[in-house]
Amino acid sequence: DAGVIQSPRHEVTEMGQEVTLRCKPISGHDYLFWYRQTMMRGLELLIYFNNNVPIDDSGMPEDRFSAKMPNASFSTLKIQPSEPRDSAVYFCASSHRLAGLYEQYFGPGTRLTVT
């Protein structure tokens, strides 16, 4: 398996622009997570899905952020409009609830810079 795939790997955009981050989870995994990582706040959970349904979006910072999972093999995280404080590394992770083990598999991340 190729693992969790994220695109793009790097994104540089100007304040006010729309940004879309993409994620393909590992085939067969029924949970998908979006995280944001910064030096100041560490790794923060933004939202997670189970079987394509959003379960907990309490970590989404504000209405400018939205996430979708139209099918089991694809998810997007959108920021509109983007702001400089959104600059961070965004990770997607997936997992499969098997025998009580909740190990998460992370993608390589998307480094977002908003100028």
Partner 1 sequence: SQKIEQNSEALNIQEGKTATLTCNYTNYSPAYLQWYRQDPGRGPVFLLLIRENEKEKRKERLKVTFDTTLKQSLFHITASQPADSATYLCALGQTGANNLFFGTGTRLTVIP
Q: DSSP state, 18?
A: -
DSSP code at position 3 = -
Q: Is residue 42 close enough to count as binding partner 1 by CB under 8 A?
A: yes
Out of 20, 52, 76, 104, the residue judged to bind partner 1 by CB under 8 A = 104
Nearer to partner 1, 81 or 108 (CB): 108
**Among 16-24, 30-38, 60-68, 71-79, which window interacts with partner 1 (CB under 8 A)?**
30-38
Cβ partners under 8 Å of residue 40, min gap 6: none
When asked if residue 62 is in the footprint of partner 1 (CB under 8 A), the reply is no
**Least distance between partner 1 and beta carbon 81 (Å):** 27
How would you list the strands of the sheet with 65-71, edge to edge? 5-7, 19-24, 74-79, 65-71
What is the radius of gyration, based on Cα positions, of the chain?
14
Measured from the CB atom, the residue of 51 and 115 that comes closer to partner 1 is 51
Contact 93, 35 (CB under 8 A): yes
List the structure tokens of 30. 């029924």
Q: Tell me: does residue 106 bind partner 1 (CB under 8 A).
A: yes
Positions touching partner 1 (CB under 8 A) are 4, 31, 33, 35, 41-45, 48, 50, 55-56, 91, 93, 95, 97, 101-109
